[in-house]
Amino acid sequence: MKKIEAIIRHFKLDDIKSSLTECGVEGMTITEVKGFGRQKGHTEMYRGNEYAIDFVPKVKVEVVVAEDKLRQVVETIMGQAQTGQMGDGKIFVSDLSEVIRIRTGETGKDAV
């Protein structure tokens, strides 16, 4: 299994959620985060305000999927999240060793 962590712009969240649901993603976790990328020391716009970078608010979307869904999920997030402007975000992919569904005790792919 793979864990995909995507740092995205807030206003893209609804579209990303719908598109991921359409491609069969069964669950996700959302966190409000703050961070910075390569433009540290410069500024970035967020909801009409200019942030001295420092830390800019973003949303982190975490999705765990079976390996055969990885490409589709990454391409979907890319397609929805990209504006072409600095600050579009990043996608981190890592191997995940286990998933356990608490209600049933199922593990692995069956539990995702």
Q: Which of 12, 76, 89, 112 binds ligand ATP (CB under 6 A)?
A: 89
We find the least distance from the C-beta atom of residue 93 to ligand ATP, in angstroms, to be: 13
Footprint of ligand ATP on 64-83 (CB under 6 A): none
Q: Which of 56, 64, 65, 77 binds ligand ATP (CB under 6 A)?
A: 56
Instruction: Tell me whether residue 44 or residue 64 sits nearer to Mg ion (CB atom).
Output: 44
| Cβ density class 19-48: b for 16+ within 10 Å, e for less | bbeeeebeebeeeeeeebeeeeeeebeeee
Residue 38 is a binding residue for ligand ATP (CB under 6 A) = yes
Amino acid code (one letter) for 95? D
d(CA 15, CA 47): 18
